[in-house]
Structure formats: structure tokens, C-alpha cells
Amino acid sequence: QVQLVQPGAEVKKPGASVKISCKASHYTFTTYYIHWVRQAPGQGLEWMGMINPSGGSTTYAQKFQGRVTMTRDTSTSTVYMELSSLRSEDTAVYYCLPAVAGPTWFDSWGQGTLVTVSS
């Protein structure tokens, strides 16, 4: 069964960066693309982008272009999502989600990482 493990929480100050890890297990790491979706408190769901663990290619939502970087480490089966220049509006739960190639939906959600941006 596909398993992705994220840290539970991060606290950052405005202007800082956060780098969230997403460690894959129980499947071949390069099988699934990894997408990132976030949800601010009391708000809806927002797709941020995705990475292909096989070659490392990325696609980002325009809203986050220039501020988000998704990378992967095949030696540890881990994907990372770094968001820079944090502001209070970035306070949200960030989910990493496995999916097949192409536009798709998400049927395997973990607990996510709560990122709190506060001075």
C-alpha cells in the first residue's frame, strides 16, 4: 500500500522559507508523480504543482511560480517542497499526494503538514 510520510508541523516567520519532506514507502518511488495541495484554515483546496520522481521534471501552478521548488532524492525515496518568502496567508496544511501521470484526482491522502507562518 502506498505510504507517504510528512512531518506533522512546521513554524516559520514571515519572509522565511519552509522545506517539507514527503517520504515514500511500500511502492517503487518512480511509479507515481507527487502532487502538492494545500488548504488554509477554514478554506478550500489549492493545487500547487507536481514532480515526476523519475526524471525530476516539475509543473507548478502559476500562482506559486518563482516561490516554490519541488525536488526529489531517489536515494531516500523522498520528495521535497520548498516555499519561500512566506507570509501569513501561507499558513495551511500541505499535502503530498501520489498520482498517475497526467491530470488526475487523488485517492490517497495522508495527514499533511501544518505550516504556521507567524512572527
Q: How far is CA 75 from the centre of its chain?
A: 19
In whole angstroms, the minimum distance from the beta carbon of 93 to other proteins comes to 8
Nearer to other proteins, 35 or 72 (CB): 35
- The 50-89 site mask, x for binding other proteins (CB under 8 A), equals ---------x-xx---------------------------
Q: Which span sits near other proteins by CB under 8 A: 5-13, 14-22, 83-91, 109-117?
A: 109-117
Cβ 48 vs Cβ 67: under 8 Å: no
Sign (positive or negative) of CA dihedral 72, 73, 74, 76: negative
Query: Closest Cα partner for 82 from 24, 33, 34, 17?
Result: 17
Residue 44 interacts with other proteins (CB under 8 A): yes or no: yes
